[in-house]
Chain A
Amino acid sequence: MIYGCERLSKSYGAHRVLENLTLSFPSGNRYCIMSPSGGGKTTLFRLFSGLEVPDGGRLIGFDTARISMVFQEDRLCDHLSPITNTALVQTRPNRGDIHAYLTELLPESCLYQPVSALSGGMKRRVAIARALLADSDVLLLDEPFTGLDEESRSRTIDFVRSHQGGRLLLMATHHPEEAEQLGAEILHL
């Protein structure tokens, strides 16, 4: 399966964020999209995820694909536990499986606490696990490792690598070392 876009354009008022952008991504690969701040990475992900409509051009494959995403913010349901936040985005959740996967990233003691009681780094890892464990064809990770310390970041990158499966993975980041550790091809916008 090939995903991509053709002559994609998007503006906010007079500010043109993307212009005639053509990209192509075979399924199962990893890509790291890099650009200076305000370069259109988040806009591109919002177009791919259907949260924005392009002004011109067309999307290939994304419009019918099941998308899962790590947003720049965690966007978790604060009153729910990491287990339930993760189960929420699954069609047929299995508590045992989710529990086992989450313990790869989080201490077992916090799996049933409301996420509002967790630290910023823990919340970030829940958001990443939620996206990785969702039923999807495409993973969009928008600056996913922000706020994680060195050790957590390394462990989380390994988690992402091992749970990508045959899905397309696109990550927006400012850090080339994250792309390197993830084994992703770098694309500059």
Chain B
Amino acid sequence: MAKPAAKKAAIAGGWLALWQMVSLIVHQSVLLAGPLESLKALTQMMVTAEFWQTVSFTMLRIAGGFLLAFALGIAFGALAHRFPIARDILAPAVSAMKSVPVACFVVLLLVWVGSKNLTFVIVFLVAFPILYLNTLEGLGRAEGTLLEMAQVFRLSGWRKLRYVYLPALLPSLISACQLALGMSWKSGVAAEVIGTPLHSIGQQLYFAKIYLEIDHLFAWTFVILLASTLFETVFLALLHRAARRMEGTDDLRM
């Protein structure tokens, strides 16, 4: 095992041991379930079909909401960069999405769209302004001198986008995606806890609270962390790969 990995494993093991020790001292699983109890709850849940149905319900809606925000955030960011009037028109809506607490949107959306699609819409509302504003900022960072070069040499819109705008946009877009992905899972699950849609992770967290099943709470928390890390890792790897292909140094069609 490599040295840094061994160090990380030792640190994690130390914290788990401390958690187990404290739970033994407290000795009340309704207050603090230990890691072994939580693991046991998780393995019991994992063998049921309902567990996988619940995970896929939440994951699909969070991924869907995020991907829609990603596509529209970039599209509207580009539109607002090109046409300042579009930026002015969108500004109040984006400002509202940024400032209004998620709980207010949840209540409103429960009335408008019901609990089934609540997560999808909430995730979109949280992720869109992050992606929109960072797209706008990234495109604004495209070097004026390179844009003049592109104008003089009459570069096509596609080449301008790929070789002038994209390198300026990518750093902002990648950090926006990291932030938006984290926020999507936090807000999506929080909305589910309030709205308790059927077969959602949020509903399971709500049940854990009602029935004081702290081991289930920890087990579901672990599932959320795992799912969000997995989604973030896969999405960012695909984004990096697409960016490398688009920015490739010698793949201009010749």
Residues of B within 8 A of A134 (CB): 153
Supposing A51-B152, A88-B155 touch, asked if A77 and B250 sit within 8 A by C-beta, the answer is no
| CB neighbors of B among A90-108 (8 A) | 93-95, 98
Residues of A within 8 A of B149 (CB): 69, 71, 75
CB distance from A106 to the nearest CB of B (A): 15
Supposing A51-B152, A66-B154, A112-B249 touch, asked if A77 and B167 sit within 8 A by C-beta, the answer is yes
Residues of B within 8 A of A80 (CB): 163, 249
Does the CB pair A87–B249 fall under 8 Å? no
Does the CB pair B152–A68 fall under 8 Å? yes
Q: Is B210 close to A, CB under 8 A?
A: no
CA distance A66 to B152 in the complex (A): 8
Q: Is A19 close to B, CB under 8 A?
A: no
Does the CB pair A79–B252 fall under 8 Å? no
> How many residues does chain B have at the interface if contact means C-beta atoms less than 8 Å apart?
19
CB distance from B171 to the nearest CB of A (A): 12
Does the CB pair A89–B153 fall under 8 Å? yes
The interface residues of chain B, by DSSP majority, are classed as: helix
Q: Is A156 close to B, CB under 8 A?
A: no
CA distance A113 to B247 in the complex (A): 14
Contact of B163 (CB < 8 Å), options: A75, A88, A98: A88
> How many residues does chain A have at the interface if contact means C-beta atoms less than 8 Å apart?
26
Q: Is B47 close to A, CB under 8 A?
A: no
Q: Is B148 close to A, CB under 8 A?
A: yes
Q: Is A173 close to B, CB under 8 A?
A: no
Does the CB pair B159–A88 fall under 8 Å? yes
CA distance A86 to B232 in the complex (A): 37
Does the CB pair B152–A77 fall under 8 Å? no
CA distance A75 to B143 in the complex (A): 9
The interface residues of chain A, by DSSP majority, are classed as: loop
- Closest A-chain residue to B143, C-beta based? A75
- Closest B-chain residue to A89, C-beta based? B153
- 1/0 contact string of B126-154 vs chain A (CB within 8 Å): 00000000000000000001101101111
Q: Is A83 close to B, CB under 8 A?
A: yes
Q: Is A84 close to B, CB under 8 A?
A: yes
- 1/0 contact string of B89-110 vs chain A (CB within 8 Å): 0000000000000000000000
Contact of B145 (CB < 8 Å), options: A67, A71, A79, A112: A71
- Closest A-chain residue to B149, C-beta based? A75
Contact of B250 (CB < 8 Å), options: A51, A68, A84: A84
Residues of B within 8 A of A93 (CB): 252-254
CA distance A187 to B164 in the complex (A): 35
CB distance from A120 to the nearest CB of B (A): 16
CA distance A88 to B160 in the complex (A): 9
CA distance A44 to B146 in the complex (A): 19
Shortest beta-carbon contacts, A-B, top 7: A89-B153, A95-B254, A75-B149, A93-B254, A81-B249, A87-B252, A49-B152
Given A75-B145, A93-B253, A98-B254, 19 extra CB contacts under 8 A? A49-B152, A50-B151, A51-B148, A67-B153, A68-B152, A69-B149, A71-B149, A75-B149, A77-B146, A80-B163, A84-B252, A87-B252, A88-B155, A88-B163, A89-B155, A93-B254, A95-B254, A112-B249, A112-B250
Interface set of B (CB-CB < 8 Å, partner A):
145-146, 148-149, 151-155, 159, 163-164, 167, 247, 249-250, 252-254
20 residue pairs of the A-B complex, CB under 8 angstroms, read A49-B152, A50-B151, A51-B151, A51-B152, A68-B152, A69-B152, A71-B148, A77-B164, A79-B249, A81-B249, A81-B250, A84-B249, A84-B250, A87-B252, A88-B153, A88-B155, A93-B253, A93-B254, A112-B250, A134-B153
